[in-house]
Amino acid sequence: MIRAYAAQQPGGKLEPFEYDPGVLGAQEVEIQVEACGICHSDLSMLDNAWGLTQYPFVPGHEVVGTIAARGSDVTRLELGQRVGLGWYSRSCMSCEWCMSGNQNLCLTAEGTIVGRYGGFADKVRAHQAWVTPLPEELNPDNAGPLFCGGITVFNPIVQLDIKPTDRVGVIGIGGLGHMALRFLHAWGCDVTAFSTSPDKEAEAREMGANHFINSRDPEALKSVENSFDVILSTVNADLDWNAYIAALRPKGRLHLVGVVPNPLSTQLFPLIVGQKSLGGSPLGSPTTVNRMLDFASRHGVEPITEYFAFEEVNTALDKLRHGKPRYRIVLKH
């Protein structure tokens, strides 16, 4: 039996829950959970905000732990090896996307907490391809958020072929944005932080920002027109997108990884005449996750976290719901 914490209804409190996972699949591994981050996606799923949730619902998709059991066909992971698991637990491994190394775009990929029981538990299972060894240089206590928040902001660096000579803006200094600042600074970029909170300037600079813009100030936004190769939006709020498109250089890209509540309203003419683009991306493939972990371990990139015991899961969720963590929350056994 696996012991977990589950909600029985939308927005419900998590309570102790046990389930029988059945026979371990030939390509599956069972992870003994040591720590698990809490993500805003856990809250969205808990509330059934996306219409995907099945109850009882066990959150948790930023897992760090050790291999407790292996399926008969598992060859790349060893018992006792420390690993991580993120949003995806399985993909078909046979479609054009999986075969080309873009498993994160597989149309039948399974989320760790979508139709499955997640990592707020003592154990969790996943297909071996989506379970990534954790470099020894990374702290297992706070590495969990890298497997969702970290890869969310690292994947655009790879997909957009961002170069160390690029000027990059990051909108939002929160759970995603603070990791984006750290990765892009280590990548060698000239980084500007956009924030509605002027009191975050000093901390943003400590995390790697070379410049800081108060995004509530229209004049400050106007002062950086035609400045950026890439602007990465990590927020879940509606903004004046035309102002950020104006801040792009020709061929610049406004890239969203935060889910905004309403359809974007933009003027097309500046996009066309400046050959600018607007896009987004999901989490990365297993190969990109591995690249991220290698880069993070070599450059000392890690999330800023605070910790709760698993028994305090409801307190931790409430803190996240009210926007008070600095900057990620991790549950520990």
149-159 helix and 177-187 helix, angle to the nearest 10 degrees = 40
Which residues, at least 6 apart from 157, have a Cβ–Cβ distance to it below 8 Å?
183, 184, 187
pLDDT tens track for 95-110: 999 999 999 999 999 9
Cross-strand pairs, 213: 194
Residue 332 in this model has a pLDDT that exceeds 90: yes
Q: Which of 148, 82, 78, 76 is nearest to 111 (CA)?
A: 148
Q: Does the model's pTM come out above 0.85?
A: yes
pLDDT tens track for 156-214: 999 999 999 999 999 999 999 999 999 999 999 999 999 999 999 999 999 999 999 99
Q: What is the DSSP string of 129-194?
A: GGEEEPPTTS-TTT-GGGGTHHHHHHHHHHHTT--TT-EEEEE--STTHHHHHHHHHHHT-EEEEE
| Distance of alpha carbon 107 from alpha carbon 88, whole angstroms | 12
Predicted pLDDT of residue 30: 98
Residue 80 in this model has a pLDDT that exceeds 90: yes
pLDDT tens track for 227-250: 999 999 999 899 999 999 999 999
Mean pLDDT rounded to a whole number for the chain: 96
Pair type for strands 277-280 and 131-133: unpaired
Domains and CATH numbers, the chain: 2-147+284-332 (3.90.180.10), 151-280 (3.40.50.720)
Mean pLDDT of 20-49: 97
| Distance of alpha carbon 14 from alpha carbon 7, whole angstroms | 5
